[in-house]
Structure formats: C-alpha cells, structure tokens
Amino acid sequence: MKPNYLITIIGPTAIGKTSLSITLAQHFGCEIISCDSRQFYKEMTIGTAVPSDEELAAAPHHFIQNKSIFDKYSVGDFELEALSKLDELFPKNNIQIMVGGSGLYVDAVLKGFDEFPDIDENVRTEINSKFDELGIEFLQEKLLEFDSDYYQKLTTENPQTLQNPQRMKRFVEVCLGSGLPYSSFIGKRKNKRDFIPIVIGLEAEREIMYDRINQRVDIMLEQGLLNEVENLFPHKALNALQTVGYRELFDYLEGKTTLEFAIAQIKQNTRRFAKRQMTWFKRTENATWFDFQRDRKEIIKVIENLTQYHAT
C-alpha cells in the first residue's frame, strides 16, 4: 500500500500560497484543505482574501467559509474535522494538499496538541473578570507564580505571547483549574498521523513581501472592504472579528481615527502579522523553502521526488 502524503504549503500572507496550492492540486489530481483561520467565516470575504470563484472552481477546496462568525469554533475542532476529511480523501488519492497562514492550525493537523484537563467554567469566568479589571499584567503575574519555568521560556523564545490575552488566559486557567503548572501537560500525548507531511514554504525578501501586502490592502479596499466592515460593525465584539483589517476600520467607523490613518494601520499591522508568521513557520521541522517566484515545475519536481510520485 502506498503511504499517504500531505503536502502543506506555508508562508506569510500575500506570498502566493493559494496560487501554488491550486497548481499542485491540478498536477496531482487532489483536493485542498484550507487552514486559514480567518477564511472559515462566511461573513468575511474581502478582508480575509478568500480565494476567488475562479480559484475555488479550479480545484476542490474544504474549510472555506464553512462557518459563521456566530459559531463557537476552536483549533481543536478544526483538527478533528480536518483529520476526518483527510480520512475521506486519502483513499481517493494518497497525495492531498493543505494550505494556509495560520501556524497554530497547521500544527494542529500535522502534530496535534497535548491533552489538557477540562476547566471549570467558574475558573474561566473569574480569570476573565480579573483580566478586565487588572489587564495583561494580572495574567503575567499569575503565570510567573504558578509556572515560572514556562514563563521564563516564553520570555526567552516567544515574548510576544506574554502580550497575547487569549493565550495567557489559557495558560492561567489550566494552572488554576488543575493546580498544576501548564508546562506539566506539554509533550505527554503522542499523536499518531496516517500520513507523511511534506512542508513547502514560500518566502520573499522583506521589502518585496511588504510591497505585496500594501498592494493587497489597496485591492481589498477597491473591492469594497469598507462596506464589508460596515455590515459587520454591529457584531464588532465577536472574537472572529478581532483581526487585522477589521479592527482598524471599526475604529474609523467609531470616529476614533481618520480613514487614511486606519488604512495605514491595516498595512502596518498586516506587515507585523506577516513577520510573526515567518517567525513561527521558520521553526517548522523539515520544511523546504522556495522563493515565491520559483518556477512551479521545479517545486513539483521536488515534491515528486519526495513522494516517489509517478504520473499515470
């Protein structure tokens, strides 16, 4: 029996991942799993750079606009659904494709997560209340108190996480809810996968990447991003809408900034987001990186060698 291969395309926003995934899907005759956490939501189209109708028609896609912003949906939910979909797809073709810029979601499918205890809802409520009252410093102090080793590890390896309220709340609730350090649950679970991952990364010189991002934002605005955000404004507090391209225009609609400033902020924050993506993805084990302009035939040849693919 042939082994299953999951070709996974990673890289920063606006680098050309969608285009490459379609080229590969057409060449290998397979389907595409999207793991872009912003593209799950059907109410968000322009600001999340959802593939065009032509692109969606060029190859079968999954997990594109399949949820609502009102749905509760976690990375763990996605992991289960994506693996289930792959179980359906591999019997048809032992090569399938996954693409997206959400590093946490990529890791969920390729490696899975450690298993953490269920947390009492009262603990979660208390932490949220304290955070609203005292801010991120409360979470930082609690993590330092209950899991100083993990706190120091984040300080050294991933300091931006210490400023991320959602991640920090999770760390603290596990500590408080279990009475054990968050780090004590890491690396205990072995997640088996019935496929071999082949990770392809796309990259570009920083200035080129930033120019592409600026151009994409301009195109989104021409396509009607402001109108899309206006329609979503009544729901601006939803977690799904706490994302670049939406937050900045919500501020404009509330009269906090000018439109010109909001657009400049979208570009700047998207560039920062792309930089964080590259930091995350560069840690990916056994990834093969290509310049975004590399001849697609050369990338295909590398994948064919890795998968021992033979066209029929």
Residue 156 annotated as part of some ligand binding site: no
Residue 11 annotated as part of some ligand binding site: yes
Backbone angles phi, psi at 260, to 5 degrees: -60, -45
Task: Calculate the CA dihedral of residues 20, 64, 70, 74 and round it to 10 degrees.
Answer: -60
* Cα separation, 173 vs 34, whole angstroms: 30
CA contacts within 13 A on the Cβ side of 304: 13
What number of other Cβ atoms are within 10 A of residue 215's Cβ? 12
Tokens linked to 221? 């605005």
Tokens linked to 154? 């984040």
Residue 14 annotated as part of some ligand binding site: yes
* Cα separation, 274 vs 209, whole angstroms: 8
Backbone angles phi, psi at 287, to 5 degrees: -80, 145
Residue 15 annotated as part of some ligand binding site: yes
Q: Please give the full DSSP string across 89-158, using - where no structure is assigned.
A: HTTT-SEEEEE-S-HHHHHHHHT---------HHHHHHHHHHHHHH-HHHHHHHHHHH-HHHHHHHHHH-
* Cα separation, 295 vs 201, whole angstroms: 14
Cβ-Cβ contacts under 8 Å for 287 (sequence gap 6 or more)? 10, 199, 200, 201, 281
Tokens linked to 245? 């391209």
Residue 12 annotated as part of some ligand binding site: yes
Binding residues for ATP: 11-18
* Annotation: binding site for substrate: 13-18
Annotated binding site: 11-18
